[in-house]
Amino acid sequence: MVWPFDEKLLNPASLDVRLGSNLMIEVRDQPELMRIDISERTEDEPYLLLPGEVCLAETIEQFNLPDDISAEFVLKSSRARDFYGHMLAGWCDPGWHGSKLTLELKNERRYHPLPLYPNLKIGQMVFFRMSAIPLKSYALTGHYNNHETVMPNVA
């Protein structure tokens, strides 16, 4: 279901996920989001998300959910306590596959930037077993399958 899988990321009821190398950011003079690569950024030299700024980000992990498993992304409490925000769009339907999760992040702080860099433990996935296989699989109906990088709205 998750690749690459790292047993060290397992929690009692979830799996930690890490920030990937690609962001999409808002720029003043164009309505489309601009893609940027932060693969060279580190904890010591991060990309800085300024107060109030938003971005789309990706996880390192790619997901292939079977038709009887759904998942939900939630921020790690340590990230929320630093005032990272997430737009609560982290529901993953059964059958979602071949994709990294796109995150909708926001710096909720008023005065200070927040660091973004690859491998930052940004959140966790909570998995749910369905009581029955849905009549329509997201594998057939979903807009966000087979996305190997951060994606804007494509619906």
Catalytic residues: 104
DSSP state for residue 43 in the 8-state scheme: S
Q: Are strands 84-86 and 30-37 parallel, antiparallel or unpaired?
A: unpaired
**Residue keyed to tokens 């999409």:** 24
Backbone angles phi, psi at 138, to 5 degrees: -60, -20
In this structure, are residues 116 and 40 in contact, taking their beta carbons and an 8 Å threshold? no
| Cα–Cα distance, 36 to 63 (Å, whole number) | 22
In this structure, are residues 38 and 29 in contact, taking their beta carbons and an 8 Å threshold? no
